[in-house]
Structure 1
Amino acid sequence: MIAVIKDLFSIPVVSAVVLTIIGAITKKYIQFHRRDFFSRSSSEQIKAVEWLRTSSAPTSDPLAKAEQQFCLQSFGLHKDRDLSYKIICFYSEHAQSLIPSLKAVLRYQGMYTIADGNIYPHKFHKWLIPFVLICLLLFIGSEIYRGSSQSDGIEMLKSLFVFVVAFIVWCWVAVCALKVSSISKKLNSYIPPASGFKSSTYDFSSILNNRYP
């Protein structure tokens, strides 16, 4: 069975189709954003908080809503204003050790859905990630076993290298999914302060939980 699958993947058309499907799924459910809010400089973070504190809830005007979403994304935040506001307030009131999990929420926005400012990780991650690991172990394990039984050291090393690379990628996806899942419960239970006001001062260090000169 594994040999048949391997022969299929050796066909250029089949491998191209599979890679295209994997790429489309990855783009939809991962949506990697490298420059998130927490990776920006302090000055950029202050500008983001200033804009967010003086902005209003999204209106029914689609153009105004789109403009607001573009502004949020330009600051490395989520295009959902309520979620972005909640993330920053949550960050200012909790330990700095939660920043990696908050980064995961902003960077991998395809791993969850949003409803009323709350995030809900995709349920299929619970079985898909372990299933991928099992398939990976079975496929690569059989290749390593076949290479060792045939005393083909080069093929065995190639299979081992592929397994290590694939396992590293799997670990990365699994860790990201775990971070999003763990922080989602805390974020969903957190109630941020009311945001319907405009500040008369430019000292935004309190909400960022930092001090600036």
Structure 2
Amino acid sequence: MKLVSCLLCALLVSACSSQKPLTAEMRLNSLKAVNLEETISRKDELMMTWSLTAFDSKNRLVGVASSAWGVEKVKKGATLSFDNQATVQLAIPKGGKVVASLLLIEVDDYTEAQQFIKRIRDINGWIQVPVGFFEIGADLLTPLKYVTTALAAAGMGIQLTDRLDKDDILGQSSVELRDTSQDPKKKESVVHVPARFSGRHLRDSFEYEVEYDIQLKRMKIKPAPGR
């Protein structure tokens, strides 16, 4: 009986240790140009950058994943889909959270923006951040701060904030995700996020609609190589 009990305990421990973590996968769906900021050229040159940032139970940054799209000239009324756009993935730490954030930016310097986007795409996969290695404040409340923090943790410095004197942020969006399920076998779920960005710049007004999904599923992912 003792041997049987030991074997059962060993199997239970093994099952718990092999439990796959809940992972957030962020996927861009569509962009619709309802109204443009540039009324003279009748085209806006746009880019988007988005990120997942993971925080442990003590609100310490432990992982990041980022991607970007653009630069594209968009006309009024155009709807773009992103079926071929790669997703970003990040595991939700036990007792912690993952924040999904997105920025829509109008670009002034096409060449510089293209180089910036390429650098983001060259970072393959999610990046583990050693606890205490990257100190941040506890007031990361805006999508801009989350995205720039993710890029800085990926070794890209503060290039995005340096660009903001020339480029206009047309919209920001963030969603916070936690592993609240007590059932490790819980089926996958999808959080659909519709974001509407509108405003005025000088005499021009703009309105954009962006939709993205965050799929929650239990799976193991590997960090980017060489980090």
TM-score (norm 2): 0.23
- The structure carrying a bigger strand percent of its residues is 2
Q: Which has the higher helix share?
A: 1
* Higher radius of gyration, 1 or 2: 1
The TM-score with structure 1 as length reference comes to 0.24
